[in-house]
Amino acid sequence: MVHDPRVSQTLARLGGVYRDPSRVDRDASALLRSSVGAHLQPIAAAHFEDDGTEATVLVLQGTIATHYRANTYHILVDMFLAPGYPRRPPICFVRLAENMYFKENHMHMGTDGKVYLPYLHEWTSQTHNLIELVVAMSSVFSADPPVFTRAPTEQPRPPDDPPPPLFSSITSTVSSTSTASRQSHDYQLQRMQQEQRMQEQLLVEQRLAELRLAEQRVAEEQTRERQLQAQREWEERRTQQVRQDVAKKITSYIQELSQQCQQELQNDWKDQQNLTYSAEHKIKPQIELYKKSIGDLEKRIKEVDRSIGDIQVWLEQAEEHKDEDAHIPVDDSVQPAHRHHEQMLNLSAENASISDALYFLDRALYQGNLTLDTHLRHVRRLSKRQFLVRAHLLKISQTCMVVSR
């Protein structure tokens, strides 16, 4: 977008009046470079708010074209861009030229020339611009011009001087009384005819004025009808556009809601399928496993209870024979129940004794009570014996496990 240097220079002189000067420069330059704003020019002028505050703002001053009765007219306008532009709409005034007057009771203009349009009332910074505003003003003022011209009134012409007498005023001694009377009668008759012609002319002019006034009233009525018709058409188009926009928004919302509901239904259906699959292939087998485990645990509990009862009986019997078994040696207090158990007990005792012997041999070597050769000879012999004992223990343990199975 090419900026108009006149607008840029004016904004530079204004300083920080506008929050978004680049938008103001872009909109004003676009209007001045368009065909509808070719007769406008930017200036800096004072603007007074309703609360009395004053600010120097950018004003687009000049004329806009209107078309009325197949003729093109140019109306003087001032477009003030308030400090809040583009959030605030422009403030437009119609100005008067020489011999021009404001039209009373105009639908879209106040008595001070301020312009009131639906386009300004519905102004938004995202969808409205200055070019469309000028087009709207030109369209509305073409249907109903806000100003009219009136030719200066002409002063009534004074009546002509009475015609000179037909005869010389020089008194003649030979004139008779009858001649003087005839001249006076002719003069009065001529004067009456002239007054009659003037009255007829005034009546004709009055009738013409009444006809012109009636034509003007008819033309004004026709203009007002066309304006009302144009306003109704504009309102119908606006209403239709609003209905279309609302229908589009509602349709879009319904489509989005439908897609969202379909997606949620598909997700819920997938979750239901997963739950059904899990119930059939995971939960039911797990429940069966838990039931089986419960049965096994109940059997184990019964076995434990039975074992606890046997232990309690054994403890009671041991308590009764405690005094009788007090003289039993420690080695005889534990007797293996099986021959393999007896071998494992003996081998375990021998393994433990060899481990103790190796410990004391190491300690004697550390304290210097044994020589290294003696220590190695005893350790080699005991280690070989311990290896055989442990191998024998492992073999007996494996044999017991096979028998228990």
Question: pLDDT by residue (tens digit) across 8-34?
Answer: 899 988 888 898 899 999 999 999 999
Exposure letters 300-335 (e unless 16+ CB within 10 A, then b):
eeeeeeeeeeeeeeeeeeeeeeeeeeeeeeeeeeee
Q: Give domain status of residue 74, yes or no.
A: yes
Selected residue with higher pLDDT from 194 and 82? 82
- Specify the CATH number for the domain of residue 85: 3.10.110.10
**Is pLDDT above 90 for 91?**
yes
**Listed residues 127, 149, 171: the one ending a domain:** 149
Domain assignment of residue 23, yes or no: yes
Tokens of 334: 């534990």
Is position 9 within any domain?
yes
What is the Cβ-side half-sphere exposure of residue 379, based on CA atoms within 13 angstroms? 15
- Asked whether residue 166 is domain-assigned, the answer is no
Nearest to 387 by CA among 350, 339, 336: 350
Residue 349, in any domain of the structure: yes
- Give the Cβ contact number of residue 266 at 10 Å: 10
Residue 389 neighbours by CB under 8 Å, 6+ apart: 347, 350, 351, 354
DSSP 166: S
What is the mean predicted confidence (pLDDT) over 330-355?
Answer: 82
In what helix (H) or strand (E) does residue 216 lie, and over which residues does it extend? helix 177-278
Handedness of CA 83, 88, 89, 94 (dihedral sign): negative
Question: How many structural domains does the chain have?
Answer: 2
DSSP secondary structure string for all residues of 98-139:
TTEEEPTT-TTB-TT-BB--HHHHT--TTT--HHHHHHHHHH
Domain end call among 149, 171, 193: 149
Q: What are phi and psi of 49, to 5 degrees?
A: -80, 170
Which has more confidence, 232 or 94? 94
Q: Of 36, 91, 92, which Cα lies nearest the Cα of 67?
A: 36
Residue 359: pLDDT band with limits 50, 70, 90:
very high
Rounded average pLDDT over 44-58? 87
pLDDT band at 326; cut points 50, 70, 90: low
Task: Please answer whether residues 136 and 89 qualify as being in contact, where contact means their C-beta atoms are separated by less than 8 angstroms.
Answer: no
pLDDT at 165 over 60: no
> Cα dist. 263→252, 260, 267, 272, 276 in Å?
16, 5, 6, 14, 20
231 belongs to a structural domain: no
In a domain, 383, yes or no: yes
Domain boundary among 131, 149, 167: 149
Which domain range does residue 388 map to? Answer: 339-404
Closest by CA to 25, choosing from 50, 4, 51, 46, is: 4
